Amino acid sequence: MIVTITLLVPGITLKCENYLESKDTLVVELDTDGKIYLVPPGTLAIKDSMDNNYTLISSISANQEIKIPLNSIQKGEYIVYGMDTNYESFSIPLQLFVSQSSNNLTLNTKGYKLFPNPTDNIINIETQYQIPLTIEIHSLSGQIIQSTKILNNSTQIDLSSFQKGVYFITVRSRDLVRTEKIIKL
C-alpha cells in the first residue's frame, strides 16, 4: 500500500490513513523546503530538540515528493511532524501506527469485528485478542475524544453524544495496535 501525506506550510494539512504496516510506503510532499520527523506521542516537539532527539525521516525541497519505505522504521506509535527550514511552522500532529506485517493482525480475521460501520449510535466490538484492550476514539485532527478499557471479548461503545462525521477508532492490546475509520451518521 502507498499512503500519501500532504503537508502545506503554514496552516499545514495532513492526509493519511492512521494505520500502516512495515511493508507500506509513506509518500510526503511539502510546499516549502523543510524536514519530516517521527516523534514519540506525548513528546513536546520544540525547535532546539528536533534534530538531536527525534527520528529525522527526510529533508525535503519545496514541491518535491519523497517515498519513505516503513520497513526501516521500528514498529510503534509515532507523531508525524513537518516543519520549514526556519523551524517556524510545525505541522498538526498526525498519529501514525506502524506494526510488523503479519496476516494474523489484519482487521478481516475472525479474531476482530467492529460493526456496524457506518453507525447511528452504537459500535459493537468483538475480539479474540488478549484482554484487556484499550479502545480510543480520535477526531480527524488526532485528538483523543474517548478512551475505554475493555475487560471482556465483547462490548459496545456508545457514540450517541458524538456529532455526525468521521472518526478513527484505535484498538490496543499488548501485541496489537489497529486503527480504523468509523462514520457516525
Domains of the chain, by residue range, sit at 2-99, 103-184
Whole-number pLDDT of residue 25: 60
Whole-number pLDDT of residue 113: 78
Q: Is the four-CA dihedral 78, 79, 80, 84 of positive or negative sign?
A: negative
Instruction: Round to whole Å and give the CA distance between 145 and 89.
Output: 26
Which of 76, 2, 70, 6 is closest to 34 using CA atoms? 6
Instruction: Round to whole Å and give the CA distance between 7 and 30.
Output: 5
Contact 87, 38 (CB under 8 A): no
Cell for 26?
509513506
Taking 50 as the pLDDT cut, the residues of the chain under it are: 1-19, 89-95, 100-110
Q: How far, CA to CA in Å, does 171 sit from each of 42, 58, 93?
A: 18, 29, 20
- Length of the chain measured in residues: 185
Contact 149, 133 (CB under 8 A): yes
Residue 11 dihedral angles phi and psi, to the nearest 5°: 65, 50
Architecture of domain 2-99: Sandwich (2.60)
Reported as half-sphere exposure (CB side, CA atoms, 13 A), residue 55 has a value of 15
Are β-strands 25-30 and 2-7 bridged in parallel, bridged antiparallel, or unpaired?
parallel
Cis peptide before 40 (omega within 30 of 0): no
CATH class given for the domain over 103-184? mainly beta
Contact 3, 25 (CB under 8 A): yes
Strands in 24-64 per DSSP E: 25-30, 34-39, 55-60
